[in-house]
C-alpha cells in the first residue's frame, strides 16, 4: 500500500479517510497486508489489495453455482488479519470448491444449508490445500498457469472465463478500447493533469492497465473491480505497475474528489446497478475530465445481457454528467485501430444508423489535446509488453526451423462473440523458430514486424507465459 494510494482512498460508505495499520504478511504473500480503519468500520488489505466492500468476498463469477453471497464475510477477513493469519485470509478469498462440491451445495441452497459456516469450511478445505501448494510456487508461475489452475472442468468456475482472459488481448473489444486509450497522454505527466492517474472501473484482470502502464509514455492507473480474484491477478501478474482496489462501483467510488485525470469502464457498464449514481461519482472523482464507456450493449439488438439501454437511453444517462457525448460502434473503433487513426477526430457526435448497432462506446469531456493526439505508428498498443505468439494460434506443423501456426477459436461461444477477429488475423502463418529474447528485436526484423502487424505476435505481460 503506497502513500500515494492511501492519500486518495475514501470510505465509499461514510466518505471518511483511512488510517492503515500494517500486519505481518509472511510468504507466500508477496505484498502488504493490514487493516484500514475509518469512522464506520474496518476493512482488510490482503496481498496488496484493499477490500472496500461490505458484501462477502468470493472468486466465483456471478451466475455460477455460487454467487458473491457464498464468499467469506469481510469481518472474518479482518479478524484473521488481526490474529496474524494473513495467509488464511488470502486462502479464504481465493479458494474455489470443486465442481462436484459446488453442485452438492447448489442442491442444498434452497434450504440455505449452503450458507452454513461448517459446510463452507468443509468444502473449501481440500481446495485450500491445492491453493496453498500453488502459492508456494507463485514466483515461478506464469499468469497462464495460474488461470489454468483456477479455470478447469473440475472447478466451479469452469473453463470459459479462463479462455476469455487468456485470449483477450486481440479481441475486437480490446482493440476498440486501445483505440480510445491511445489518445490519453502519459510520459512525464503520468496521466496528466498534475500527475493524476487514470481510473479503470471494473478493470478485470488488468489487460488495459498492462497497456497504460507499459507503453513508451506510461500513464499511472488505478483499477477497481468487485471481484478480488480479478484485481489480485492484475496486481501480481498482468500489470503490477498499476494500483488496485476491490470495491463495488454501484456503492460509490472509494476515492477523494478530483483524484483522476480520466475514467474508463470497459465491458461492464451495462451490468452495473445504480448507473446514475456511478456517473455522478465519476464526475466527482474526475470533474470535467475525459470519460470512456467502452462496449455497452444496445437493448434494441438481441441478444440482451445485464440491464442494457437503447442508444438514446445511454445518451440520456450520460449527457447529464458530461459535455459533448460522442457515440461509436465497436466496428468503427476497431477500424480506426487497424488504420492507425484517432477515432476522436470524427466531427459528428452520433452518426446515422448507430441505433441499430449491438455494441456501442461513449466518450465525453474530450478536449482538443485528445483529438489532436496521433497514434504512434511504430509502437502499436497491441505490441506493448514482451512479444510472443498470440495465444489464439495453435501449432499445426514443425519443419526445418519453422513452425506452421493455425488460427483456432477455442470454443463455439468464443467464435460467436469474436468472429470479427477473422478480419485481421491470418488463418495460417509460417513463422521462424526463434528464442524468446530474439523476438523482442522485432522492430529490426522485417519478417517479425509483419507478424506483429498481423497480430500473430503480440505484446503480453512479462509473466504471462512460461519462459
The pLDDT of residue 99: 53
Q: Rounded distance, CA 391 to CA 169, Å?
A: 9
- What does each C-alpha distance from 174 to 178, 207, 303, 346, 411 come to in angstroms? 6, 8, 20, 20, 19
Q: Rounded distance, CA 458 to CA 456, Å?
A: 6
φ, ψ for residue 88, nearest 5 deg:
-60, -35
Q: Rounded distance, CA 11 to CA 3, Å?
A: 16
Domain limits, the chain:
3-165, 172-371, 385-460
Give the pLDDT mean for 276-286.
97
The pLDDT of residue 24: 92
* pLDDT confidence band for 123 (50 / 70 / 90): very low
Give the pLDDT mean for 222-238.
97
Tell me the pTM.
Answer: 0.92
Is the confidence at residue 377, as pLDDT, over 90? no
For the chain, the average pLDDT equals 89
Closest CA to 165 of 190, 184, 147, 183: 147
Q: What is the pLDDT of residues 287-317, one digit of tens each?
A: 999 999 999 999 999 999 999 999 999 999 9
The pLDDT of residue 127: 73
Q: Grid coordinates representing 4?
A: 500515494
In this predicted structure, which of 11-15, 67-71, 404-408 has the lowest mean pLDDT?
Answer: 67-71
Q: What is the pLDDT of residues 62-105, one digit of tens each?
A: 444 444 446 899 999 999 999 999 999 999 999 876 654 444 44
Q: Does domain 172-371 have CATH number 3.40.630.30?
A: no
Is the confidence at residue 467, as pLDDT, over 80? no
Q: What is the pLDDT of residues 137-154, one digit of tens each?
A: 999 999 999 999 988 877
Residues of the chain with pLDDT > 70, as a percent, come to 89
Q: Is the omega angle on the peptide bond into residue 303 within 30 degrees of 0, that is, cis?
A: yes
Give the pLDDT mean for 405-427.
95
Look-up of cell digits 472523482 = 285
Half-sphere CA count of 34, side-chain side, radius 13 A = 14
In this predicted structure, which of 115-124, 347-356, 364-373 has the lowest mean pLDDT?
Answer: 115-124
Is the confidence at residue 439, as pLDDT, over 50? yes
The pLDDT of residue 98: 61
Is the confidence at residue 451, as pLDDT, over 90? yes
Question: Which residues 6+ apart lie within 8 Å of 232 measured at CB?
Answer: 47, 49, 93, 94, 244
Q: What is the pLDDT of residues 335-361, one digit of tens each?
A: 999 999 999 999 999 999 999 999 999
Q: Rounded distance, CA 212 to CA 262, Å?
A: 12
The pLDDT of residue 154: 72
Does residue 102 sit in helix, strand or coil?
Answer: helix
- Do residues 221 and 264 touch, judged by C-beta distance below 8 A? no
* pLDDT confidence band for 112 (50 / 70 / 90): very low
Amino acid at each position: 500500500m503506497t502513500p500515494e494510494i492511501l492519500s486518495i482512498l475514501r470510505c465509499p460508505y461514510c466518505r471518511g479517510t483511512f488510517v492503515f495499520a500494517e500486519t505481518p504478511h509472511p510468504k507466500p504473500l508477496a505484498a502488504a497486508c493490514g487493516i484500514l480503519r475509518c469512522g464506520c468500520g474496518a476493512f482488510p488489505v490482503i496481498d496488496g489489495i484493499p477490500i472496500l466492500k461490505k458484501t462477502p468476498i468470493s472468486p466465483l463469477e456471478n451466475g455460477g453455482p455460487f454467487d458473491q453471497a457464498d464468499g467469506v464475510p469481510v469481518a472474518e477477513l479482518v479478524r484473521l488479519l488481526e490474529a496474524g493469519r494473513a495467509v488464511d485470509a488470502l486462502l479464504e478469498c481465493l479458494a474455489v470448491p470443486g465442481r462436484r462440491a459446488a453442485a452438492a451445495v447448489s442442491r442444498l441452497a434452497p434450504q440455505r444449508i449452503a450458507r452454513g459456516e461448517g459446510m463452507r469450511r468443509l468444502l473449501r478445505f481440500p481446495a485450500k490445500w491445492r491453493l496453498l501448494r500453488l502459492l508456494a510456487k507463485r514466483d515461478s508461475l506464469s499468469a497462464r498457469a495460474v488461470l489454468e489452475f483456477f479455470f478447469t472442468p473440475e472447478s466451479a468456475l469452469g473453463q470459459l472465463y479462463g479462455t476469455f482472459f487468456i485470449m483477450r488481448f486481440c479481441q475486437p473489444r480490446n482493440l476498440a478500447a486501445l483505440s480510445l486509450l491511445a489518445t490519453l497522454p502519459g510520459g512525464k505527466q503520468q496521466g496528466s493533469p498534475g500527475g493524476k492517474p487514470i481510473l479503470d472501473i471494473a478493470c478485470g484482470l488488468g489487460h488495459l492497465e498492462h497497456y497504460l502502464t507499459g507503453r513508451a509514455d506510461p500513464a499511472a492507473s488505478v483499477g477497481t473491480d468487485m471481484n478480488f480474484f480479478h484485481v489480485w491477478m492484475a496486481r501480481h501478474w498482468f500489470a503490477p505497475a498499476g494500483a488496485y482496489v476491490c470495491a463495488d462501483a454501484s456503492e460509490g467510488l472509494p476515492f477523494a474528489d478530483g483524484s483522476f485525470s480520466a475514467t474508463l469502464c470497459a465491458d461492464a457498464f451495462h451490468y452495473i446497478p445504480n448507473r446514475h449514481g456511478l456517473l455522478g461519482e465519476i464526475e466527482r472523482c474526475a470533474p470535467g475530465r475525459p470519460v470512456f464507456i467502452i462496449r455497452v450493449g444496445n437493448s434494441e439488438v438481441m441478444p440482451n445481457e445485464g440491464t442494457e439501454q437503447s442508444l438514446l437511453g445511454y445518451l440520456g444517462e450520460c449527457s447529464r454528467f458530461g459535455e459533448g457525448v460522442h457515440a461509436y460502434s465497436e466496428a468503427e473503433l476497431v477500424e480506426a485501430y487497424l488504420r492507425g487513426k484517432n477515432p476522436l477526430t470524427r466531427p459528428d457526435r452520433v452518426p446515422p444508423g448507430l441505433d441499430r448497432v449491438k455494441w456501442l462506446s461513449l466518450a465525453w469531456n474530450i478536449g482538443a489535446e485528445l483529438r489532436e493526439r496521433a497514434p504512434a505508428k511504430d509502437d502499436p498498443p497491441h505490441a506493448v509488453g514482451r512479444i510472443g505468439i498470440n495465444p489464439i494460434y495453435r501449432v499445426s506443423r514443425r519443419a526445418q526451423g519453422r513452425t506452421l501456426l493455425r488460427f483456432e477459436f477455442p470454443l463455439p461461444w468464443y467464435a460467436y462473440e469474436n468472429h470479427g477477429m477473422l478480419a485481421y488475423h491470418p488463418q495460417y502463418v509460417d513463422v521462424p523458430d526463434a528464442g524468446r529474447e530474439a523476438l523482442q528485436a522485432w522492430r529490426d526484423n522485417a519478417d517479425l514486424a509483419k507478424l506483429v502487424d498481423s497480430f500473430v505476435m503480440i505484446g503480453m505481460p512479462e509473466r504471462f507465459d512460461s519462459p
